[in-house]
Structure 1
Amino acid sequence: MKTLKLFTAIAITAILGFTSCQSEENIQTGTNPNANSSTSPTASNYERAAMNDGSDDDFLDGNACTELLFPLTATVNGQEITLISKLDFSAVLDIMGEFNDDNDSVSFSFPINVKTSSYTEVKVNNQSELDALKQECESAEAQGKDAISCVDINFPITMLTYDITLEQTGSVVVQSEKQLYTFMTDLQSDELFAVNYPINATLSNGTEVQIKSDAEFTDSISECVQFEDEKDEAAETAVEVEAILSGAKFTVDSYIVAGVNTANDYVNYTIEFTNDLKLIAKDTVNTTTGEIEGTYAVSSETEVFLNTTFASNTAVSALGNDWVVSTYSNTLISLHSKTDASVTLTFKKI
């Protein structure tokens, strides 16, 4: 899941379902030296944080800036599938995850409908139009006009409004991200606003925060963007690690438990990582011994994980664990246990 989403140039000409209310009595009267203009950094932060999140379906359209609308039909790795809701994503991921050394392909049965970061619904008639939306997304990302999806504001919140003399003109209770986006994009050059702090928010790292100022909101964004960057970097590393493992055979170069290297217990074994996420351990000396099968999976958060599983009571059962990838190269994968960093394992490619 990317953090960034598209800030499109499409203007909203009609606002539907905007139910924010302006109070008859101002929550805060008088002047406010902290009021912000529509072009202020605070306005940009709140506008970008309120954009529509289109990142959940990136594995289908490769575009965090558009949300695919249902129903739609796609051909995934040669298999046609109709998606009625997000519940059907798992079927797509199962097809894509069948092999880890192939190039996944997705083609849509056009036309399809998408919702942009500005909550505008667009009919896409062909791949060229879909590619154009992706290019808009990349342009917005390069200009810092993309969405910030790693901070979820807990609604409702109240926005105080002011004129250019800093006299308060009213207050607006905002109930949703869409209403907040509308409020921010409707601000005129002669209108100012201030957030009625404190507000609460949840960051993508799971942290719940109380925000008491514009500066604290900026700090929260910086914190969660850094977390998302670390996740993206780990995801890229996971792809590299999986590519090194897939279809290759390894030996146990070291296996340290309680300070003792027990690699000699596995000196006769090769461990093969197949492209369909299976493990095959084979005794190369005693060829009458049958193969020992298991499974593996590479995943990531801010670190890269390798889960290995073998059946119990086999010669290689102890190699099954939830591992953290410590270091890697084209020939060596060094791991430590997720629950006990003193337990380490190193695979060497044959």
Structure 2
Amino acid sequence: MLILNKNIVKLLVFSLLILVSCQQEIEEQKTNTEVSIAKDSQFSSYLQRVVMVKTAEDDVIDKSSYCTVKFPYTVTVNNEIIAINSADDYAKVVTNINANTNDDDIVKISFPVTMIYYDYEEELIENQQQYNSLLAFWNSLPELLTKINCLKVSYPIVLNVYNSSNQSASSVVISNDEAFYNFINNLTSNKLFAINYPISVKVDDHTESIYNNEQFDDAIEDAIEYCSSNNNNTFDFMGTITSNSWKVSYFYDESDKTSLYKDYQFVFKNDFTVKAVKSSIVLNGTWETKLDNGVREFKIHFDSSTPFHELDEGWKLFEFNNSQIRFRGNTSDGGLKTEYLYLTKI
């Protein structure tokens, strides 16, 4: 009987150790939730836009969100020479432009200058002719969705990398925004990476701890939605959506379903009809939009017999420019699953 009691005690102790160990493992998973990220994922594109070069601030000078002019340099506006030594000096250019309604307000850059592109590449521009060619090239491309402001990553961070080709694992320490951008940019299709959580991010003037991809994604989307420098309040939604043809560049509803709409061209008419055209296939539908407490709402409807009926959601405008319109739909599973519809100008 005594031996049995000892065995019971041993079993209880062993069970307690397993329970404690499992609890520790669960707690560790809670505070270090690593989920693999692919280069072509939506989350990966968000990360790159958080850490890319801030290029939109000087658009009044260089007329392009694809690049920024490297400090220091000078410009001439209405015969006044203005030294641009930091971002604070952009205001001097705006003030000069707004000072008088009877001048030409043309901003002339004093060459040579070095341009820094959104992906950290640099190029020396020797003269106005070379600069005009550069602008023509950028203008031939879709308008860039620029850097996501008001959120900064605190470094260093550790990324764990898995190579599916040789089933090897490694890790890399990232020390700044440029290194993070280049890491994602140079990632190949056979590699996935995971962020070693927790990490810290600075949102405006306060610091937040991030414990998993979902929390990081939420913080980024909050920055897009609520940071004033990420919002374009002058966007003409009706004029833009009805004056161009569009394709579905991303549709997510529990899974990536973009391929359902591959090669279809969408045309939205002022009479609120919409056509989806692919070769000889023409699908007809309707659309509607309204402003609700300052939020642009959008609905699109196709017949239920077509695969396009899945687009029939209550969408809300999330991000936009003249080349891309992004909507966000319903959220489920405690905020972990959100529907997305992205339109890109053809």
Whichever structure has more helix as a proportion of its residues is 2
Larger relative contact order, structure 1 or 2 (CA cutoff 8 Å, min sep 6): 1
- TM-score calculated relative to the size of structure 1: 0.49
TM-score, normalisation: structure 2: 0.49
